[in-house]
Chains A and B, each alone.
Chain A
Amino acid sequence: MTVPTTHFVIFAALLFAIGAAGVLVRRSGISILLGIELMLNAANLALVAFGRQHGQLDAQVFVFFVMAVAAAEVAVGLALLVAIFRKQRSIDVDRLNVMRW
């Protein structure tokens, strides 16, 4: 007996919610990026599960692309954090408000 698709998707939804909570609650830039990674992975999981439901491989291709985009995002995001840290000696995003009104 196989695991029903809904269970995979519920697992993904829980991971997504946890990731979102991380993004919203944490103040450290690194933790926020980690939360985003978690959300992306949750979305990937849901995609693969739905792909199996429909018997299609395209979902997995999409996941492959999402991984590549995530890799790019992490590279740029971490580079931004490093640059910000050099400037402010801190990665607390609440202090990033120089462009505020």
Chain B
Amino acid sequence: MLDLLWLVPALPLAGALVLLGGGLRFGKRTTTAVGVGSVGLALAAVAAILVQYAGMHGETVARHVFNWISAGDVTVDFALRLDPLSAVMLSFVTLVGFVIHVYSIGYMHTEGDRAYARFFAYLNLFMFAMLTLVLGANLVVMFIGWEGVGLCSYLLIGFYFDKEYCAAAGIKAFVVNRIGDFGFLLAIFWAFKVFGTVDFSGMAAALAADPARYAAAVTPIALLLFVGAVGKSAQLPLYVWLPDAMAGPTPVSALIHAATMVTAGVYMVVRCNFIYRLSPTALLVVAAVGGVTALFAATIGLAQNDIKKVLAYSTVSQLGYMFLAAGAGAFAGGIFHVFTHAFFKACLFLGAGSVIHACSGEQDMRKMGGLARKIPVTYWTFMVATLALCGIPPFAGFFSKDEILGRVFAAGAGNLNGFGASYLVLWVLGLAAAFLTAFYMFRAVYMTFHGEFRGTPEQWHHVHESPGSMTWPLKILAVGSAVVGLLGVGRAITFGTDLNWFEGFLHRVAPTVEVEHAPSLGTEWVLILLSVAVAVAGILLARRFYFGAEAFVAPRRIAERAPVLYAAVANKYYVDEAYDRAIVRPLGKLAHFSWKGIDTIAIDGTLNASAFFTEIAGDLLRFLQTGNVRNYALFVLGGALAAAAWLLL
């Protein structure tokens, strides 16, 4: 079965090719069979592979598919690699991917046949690219998947391309990602120059054999890789594309912009942990960017009124947590949060999609309220996922978030790489972000599901629970959000017994960077209680502000007292505007100058001038063409004599 590893990405690719090759002309029934069926088969293949892999004690399996690039001493194979890390990613990418494909059957059924087929074609293509990214055995194959998911993200954000803001959001995502991809590309070149290979095993072996030899190159390569990760995983300062990406259909937001693609950056950093662990600077940069992003995005989330925007900023914030973990050396912890986050964030997005579906396309939470009575399944699944996100035990997010905060505190207290104080500051930021997360998530819950309905009576009349193809995925993901955390129960919770299966599984490929003086069990218990308390405090504050008779009074008063602060938060700190002023417009002016000044005048002018002179010369020289044969003979003889004279004299 392991020899059929290539089938896993190949099946969705085949689905996409069939749908696109058929010119998107299939009916909905055929499209569903092909689009969902191909991912279902891939899920079955993954299940079979993982069952076999479970008995292999986490050894690395590499499968060479074909020799791809061979030029001089550059050899790149199209090779796939299955190890504990890619196995974890594989499991939830295919599972969540399949569930979201099923959900899309219901969500997209109002679209025309052609748009429906286009949607599933792109979604299948995305699955292919994401699985290639995950399974790639070297940086180049990974980069192909990386670019592929970027392309599909662009196509799906701009799915409603007839709406201008959707097309613009697609372009924005693509361009911002390009900045990160550029860094990634440079890192690949650099790695190839230094290591002579881009294969993960090869690079790891080279580093293990002689770390001192590569000491100078490790930090720049790690930082350039991280530039790529910052772009793809929407971290400061390149996070701006992700909130806009919510213009795409909600299943896309769930699959690509919450559960899978945006975590590719974290995956890449953990995949390359053999580089990062040798560079304390790069680790600190990763942790700092992650920690600051986690808090920064959470504050913006406080004042968003679009339900999907809240979730988008929450995603940015949670991605920050993942980088914070990786930066603190807790690579397995970061991936664990990726894993749990995929379930509860996908569930939240699909729940939001169900809400939007129920409210006939309305996304503004100010026009919702009291929906819990009409759409109970959506409400309860949303609630479970929210609790998971807030880190309330025993839901999944509690274990992963607690693991991260614990590890960061340990890095600070244990003075990891001599940056102890910085890690302690980052721990405080993470804790603050946890508080804000609980607050804005329950704000969203109260605004959407509780209180009185604030839309029109007609809308209220239309509110209905979604069909089974949408509620079943919600239920599956809610169950996942509730239980998957048990795979990685922390050491303190079990009073020192090591039941953390997840970290043990990943230990072979991504061992945690241990600090010398790990905190005692008692300290860890204090930390756990602290993080839970912070989350509960956030929930209670949200309840005080947005629930019951006094709802909306306190927030309004704050907005009136501190209008500048409120406006800044509500307008996302004017980051987009600042980028527009500082980067986009100057670049636009430069491009305009290149067009009007350089291209039109200089380049076109030169070409037109040469054409003009050629024409003039032709106009004059045509008088030589007398049309008289004897005249031509004269020229021939004259020319022959001149040539003879030239040769003789």
Residues of chain A at the chain B interface (Cβ within 8 Å): 20, 23-24, 27, 32, 93-94, 96-97, 99-101
Given A96-B629, A97-B628, is A24 in contact with B634 using a C-beta cutoff of 8 Å? yes
B627: CB under 8 A from chain A?
yes
CA distance A97 to B630 in the complex (A): 11
Name A94's closest neighbour in chain B (CB-CB): B628
Docked-complex contact B634 and A99, CB < 8 angstroms: no
Given A24-B630, A24-B634, A97-B628, list of 8 further CB < 8 A pairs?
A: A23-B630, A24-B633, A24-B637, A32-B630, A94-B628, A97-B627, A99-B627, A101-B622
Residues of chain B at the chain A interface (Cβ within 8 Å): 622, 625-630, 633-634, 637
Using Cβ atoms and an 8 Å threshold, which residues of chain B touch A101?
Answer: 622, 625, 627
Given A24-B630, A93-B630, A94-B630, is A100 in contact with B637 using a C-beta cutoff of 8 Å? no
Checking B625, B626, B628, B637 against A20 with a beta-carbon cut-off of 8 angstroms, the contacting residue is: B637
Using Cβ atoms and an 8 Å threshold, which residues of chain B touch A100?
Answer: 625-628
Nearest first, the 3 A-B pairs at minimum CB distance are: A100-B627, A97-B627, A93-B629
CA distance A23 to B628 in the complex (A): 13
Name 25 A/B residue pairs within 8 A (Cβ), A-sorted. Answer: A20-B637, A23-B630, A23-B633, A24-B630, A24-B633, A24-B634, A24-B637, A27-B630, A32-B630, A93-B628, A93-B629, A93-B630, A94-B628, A94-B630, A96-B629, A97-B627, A97-B628, A99-B627, A100-B625, A100-B626, A100-B627, A100-B628, A101-B622, A101-B625, A101-B627
CA distance A20 to B638 in the complex (A): 11
Q: How far is the CB of B123 from chain A (nearest CB, A)?
A: 64
Using Cβ atoms and an 8 Å threshold, which residues of chain A touch B628?
Answer: 93-94, 97, 100
Using Cβ atoms and an 8 Å threshold, which residues of chain B touch A96?
Answer: 629
Q: How far is the CB of A101 from chain B (nearest CB, A)?
A: 6
Q: How far is the CB of B359 from chain A (nearest CB, A)?
A: 77
Using Cβ atoms and an 8 Å threshold, which residues of chain A touch B633?
Answer: 23-24
Using Cβ atoms and an 8 Å threshold, which residues of chain A touch B634?
Answer: 24
Q: How far is the CB of A23 from chain B (nearest CB, A)?
A: 6
Name A17's closest neighbour in chain B (CB-CB): B637
Using Cβ atoms and an 8 Å threshold, which residues of chain B touch A94?
Answer: 628, 630
CA distance A65 to B634 in the complex (A): 27
CA distance A81 to B241 in the complex (A): 80
Name B626's closest neighbour in chain A (CB-CB): A100
Q: How far is the CB of B522 from chain A (nearest CB, A)?
A: 103
CA distance A99 to B629 in the complex (A): 11
Q: How far is the CB of A33 from chain B (nearest CB, A)?
A: 12
Using Cβ atoms and an 8 Å threshold, which residues of chain B touch A93?
Answer: 628-630
CA distance A23 to B622 in the complex (A): 24
Q: How far is the CB of A30 from chain B (nearest CB, A)?
A: 14
Using Cβ atoms and an 8 Å threshold, which residues of chain A touch B629?
Answer: 93, 96
Q: How far is the CB of A17 from chain B (nearest CB, A)?
A: 10
Q: How far is the CB of A96 from chain B (nearest CB, A)?
A: 6
Q: How far is the CB of A24 from chain B (nearest CB, A)?
A: 6
Using Cβ atoms and an 8 Å threshold, which residues of chain B touch A32?
Answer: 630
Using Cβ atoms and an 8 Å threshold, which residues of chain B touch A99?
Answer: 627
CA distance A101 to B622 in the complex (A): 8
Q: How far is the CB of B293 from chain A (nearest CB, A)?
A: 74
